[in-house]
Amino acid sequence: MGIEIFYFLIFPGLLFCTVVGGLISWVDRKITARVQFRKGPPFMQPLYDVIKLLAKETVVPLRGSATTFILTPLFALFGATISAVFIMLPVLGIETGFTGDIIVIVYLLNIPSLTYVIGALASGNPLAAVGASREMKLMLSYELPFLLVLISVIIQSGMLISLSEIIAFQTSNGAFIGSLSGFIGFITVLMCFQAKLGLVPFDMAEGEGEICDGIIIEYSGSILAIFKLTKYIMFLILPALLTGLFFAGLSFSGIHILWSILKIMLIILLISLIRNTNPRVRIEQAMKFFWVWMNLFAIISIILAILGI
């Protein structure tokens, strides 16, 4: 029991993921600033953001459902932390996990997005309702290509449905990114995760210029800080999952530390560049993009995986 609580709260769960995730969000903001000829935030900015929010007043809208409104950020953090444990343990090679954990991860990763929707609807704000409807549509769009690419990965690894076994397979047989099927799959999942993270071009659920931060418009103070922590965790675990699926995971032994950091940074750089070189698309354009193009990519990836290319 003791070790599970340690996994959940300290490493690789809540504490580790929020700290490293905050660091990654700082890297993302720094890259963004550099692309835009700005100086960027100081190193401790993610921490300052959270502390500032914790110190601020929390306003609960009168017309909404207060209990749901306050509880949803907690569920978001909970979901993100549990998925962090399930993802980081095999990816870092600490424990092997169990057969079929990759399917559990798919479900757990949906919890933060779902709680955003529920929290937004509980706030009773029309702008939040628009944001919630967009977030729901977005979820319906990016889930299918993500699942299809997972099938392609499973086929490539010879029908293994455990993340640690998939990583072990890659360690002995070469990372999947090297094959054409893996490369196409990687691009597809990268786009899905861009949407999951709610970054441009798929940030229409927040859409600052249109619906004033949509889903999180009514959140303030400490409950917004919890949402922020959830975001930090997602910033670490989604790239980590990508490395697990396509780059043979991460490792903490010797020279591999450098490789691990490079892998994560490469993915963050890609995410950051996509976010800074594109405008926000409309929701129906995003749906079309995922349903037509990304699904097509994913199916091509599956066919190539069956052919063994």
Partner 1 sequence: MGKKTIVPIGPYHPLLEEPEFFKLYCDGEKVVDMEWETGYNHRGIEKICESKTFEQVFYVVERICGICSTSHPFAYANAVESIPGVEIPVRAKLIRSIVGELERVHSHLLWVGLAGHFLGYNTVFMWAWKYREPILDMFEIITGNRNSYAMFTIGGVRRDISEENADKLLKVLMDAKKKISLLTGAVMDDPVIHARLKGVAVLTAKDIHDFGAIGPTARASGVDIDIRRDDPYAAYEMVDWKVITAKEGDIFAKAEVRLMEMFESISIIKQCLELLKKENKGDIKVKVKEIPPGIGIGRAEAPRGEVFHFVKSDGSNSPVRHKIRAPSYNCITTFRRSCIGGTISDAAIATAAVDPCYCCTERMTQVYDIKTGKKMMNAAELIKLSQKKTEEIRAKGDKND
- Cβ proximity of 32 and 200 under 8 Å: no
Q: Which CA distances in Å does 87 have to 98, 231, 294?
A: 12, 16, 24
Residue appearing with tokens 């999952």: 241
Q: How far apart are CA 163 and CA 91, in angstroms?
A: 8
φ, ψ (nearest 5 deg) of residue 42 = -70, 165
15-34 binders of partner 1 (CB under 8 A): 32
Query: Residue 198 CB, nearest distance to partner 1 (Å)?
Result: 11
Among 50, 153, 200, 267, binds partner 1 (CB under 8 A): 200
**Residue positions counted in the chain:** 309
Q: What is the total count of residues that contact partner 1 (CB under 8 A)?
A: 31
Interaction between residue 209 and partner 1 (CB under 8 A): yes
Q: How far apart are CA 194 and CA 272, in angstroms?
A: 9
270-309 binders of partner 1 (CB under 8 A): 276-285
Q: How far apart are CA 73 and CA 112, in angstroms?
A: 8
- Cβ proximity of 276 and 29 under 8 Å: no
If the CB atoms of residues 129 and 151 are measured against partner 1, the closer one turns out to be 129
Among 19, 23, 27, 35, binds partner 1 (CB under 8 A): 35
Among 210, 222, 259, 291, binds partner 1 (CB under 8 A): 210
Q: Which CA distances in Å does 18 have to 26, 166, 177, 185?
A: 12, 26, 28, 28
Interaction between residue 37 and partner 1 (CB under 8 A): yes
Interaction between residue 187 and partner 1 (CB under 8 A): no
Binding mask 235-274 for partner 1 (x = CB under 8 A): ----------------------------------------
Stretch that binds partner 1, among 47-55, 189-197, 201-209, 292-300 (CB under 8 A): 201-209
Provide the 8-state DSSP code for 66.
H
Among 89, 105, 136, 204, binds partner 1 (CB under 8 A): 204
If the CB atoms of residues 155 and 294 are measured against partner 1, the closer one turns out to be 294
Q: Which CA distances in Å does 205 have to 191, 194, 287, 306?
A: 16, 13, 13, 36
39-98 binders of partner 1 (CB under 8 A): none
Positions touching partner 1 (CB under 8 A) are: 32, 35-38, 126-127, 129-130, 133-134, 200-201, 203-204, 207-212, 276-285
